[in-house]
């Protein structure tokens, strides 16, 4: 499966278990190749500094959209 996602301005706290304080995650929205809407909670993303287009990636990463109504309804703390 392949997905295409875009970052939103929304940040949530993802808890791995009831004992952890949680980790901040940015909510990304997108679609699968077949057109199914998805939301992803991304805690980290990286590109090698040797990547020739590293600066372009950093600039694009800062370009965020407002989250959809569905994503705004997410609680600010999530337990996986």
Give me the tens of pLDDT residue by residue for the chain, a chain 80 residues long: 999 999 999 998 888 777 878 889 999 999 999 999 999 999 999 999 899 999 999 898 888 899 998 877 766 555 55
Q: What distance in Å separates the CA atoms of residue 42 and residue 26, rounded to the nearest whole number?
A: 5
User: What's the pLDDT at 18?
Assistant: 78
DSSP annotation of 31? E
Residues 6+ apart with CB under 8 A from 35: none
Q: Spell 36-54 as b/e; 16+ CB within 10 A means b.
A: eeebebeeeeeeeeeeeee
Rounded (to 5) percent helix, strand, coil in the chain: 15, 40, 45
DSSP annotation of 65? B
Name the pTM for this structure: 0.80
């Amino acid at each position: 499966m392949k997905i295409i996602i875009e970052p939103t301005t929304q940040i949530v706290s993802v808890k791995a278990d009831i004992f952890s304080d949680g980790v901040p995650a940015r909510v990304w929205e997108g679609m699968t190749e077949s057109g199914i809407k998805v939301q992803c909670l991304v805690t980290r993303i990286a590109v090698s500094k040797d990547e020739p287009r590293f600066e372009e990636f950093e600039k694009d990463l800062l370009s965020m959209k407002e989250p959809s109504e569905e994503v705004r309804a997410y609680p600010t703390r999530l337990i996986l």
